[in-house]
Amino acid sequence: MMIEKCDVQATKLNRLWQEFTATRKAEIREKLIEHYLPLVKMVAGRIAIGLPQHVDKDDLISNGFFGLLDAVERFDLSRGIKFETYAVTRIRGSILDAIRAQDWVPATVRHKARQYQQTLSLLEHRLGRSATDEEIAVELGISVHEFYGFLTQLNATTLIPLEEFTKTETPANVSMNPSQFIEDEEIKRTLTRAIDKLPEKERLIVTLYYYEGLTLKEISLILKLSEARISQLHTKAVFRLRGALSRIKSSLF
């Protein structure tokens, strides 16, 4: 019975898309937007987890709504791509653009983030492996306890940091030239290799968060660690991956 109900809903939704594609009627657009609105709330909820408490989740949802509108307008049914996959990218991008425009990350924190990334990249290049917390703390000239507090300050700068490298879709009507394709493929290979080299827990967190779509809270329950600790491990993983990506991107330009 449940399967039959899902089939009926899928058929009805497909008809709506076909009718909208053919007529572009406003009332059909509204029905599609209403159906997919939970996507906006889901994406906004995930992004909100890594933001300071003063950031209003309702503002994120409002910004994401514009991304959904854009996705519905631009979606090409003939490409055979699942709309949810296409829409999530648009929704997330709309929210992140609004956040960047607000420039809510203090300049001092951004400066610390750049310094940390450079220090970590040089240290791990010298070691030829992932550095331990103790080794990073020594390199920074602080205690391990201070290092964990430092990571907490940097959490806000790792908001969906791999978004531009994990997209699996090219927007409609955009053709990728051969050199761009080769560059993107090299970046993806570099990212994959860098993820494989991460310490086990960091690698698992990256996989569960970016590829399985779990929240940091859900990951904390799976790994039986506090959400704060998961956030720290996530931040460390992101800066390791950023270092690898910055090296490959600098070699491509």
Segment 187-208 mean pLDDT: 87
Residue 248 has pLDDT above 70, yes or no: no
Residues of the chain within CATH 1.20.140 domain(s) are 107-252
State how far the Cα of 199 lies from the Cα of 130, in Å rounded to an integer.
Answer: 7
pTM of the model: 0.61
pLDDT at 231: 87
- pLDDT tens digit string along 19-50? 999 999 989 999 999 999 999 998 888 887 66
Distances (CA, A) of 192 to 116, 195, 198, 220, 249: 22, 5, 10, 23, 15
User: What is the residue whose two structure tokens read 């779509």?
Assistant: 213
CATH topology of domain 2-102: Rna Polymerase Sigma Factor; Chain: A (1.10.1740)
State how far the Cα of 136 lies from the Cα of 134, in Å rounded to an integer.
Answer: 5
- Using CB atoms within 10 Å of the CB of residue 113, give its burial: 0 to 12 exposed, 13 to 18 middle, 19+ buried: buried
Residue 169 has pLDDT above 60, yes or no: no
The Cβ of residue 239 has, within 10 Å, a number of other Cβ atoms equal to 23
Residues of the chain within CATH 1.10.1740.10 domain(s) are 2-102
- pLDDT tens digit string along 102-140? 766 777 888 888 889 889 988 988 998 889 999 999 999
- Domain spanning 107-252 has what CATH number? 1.20.140
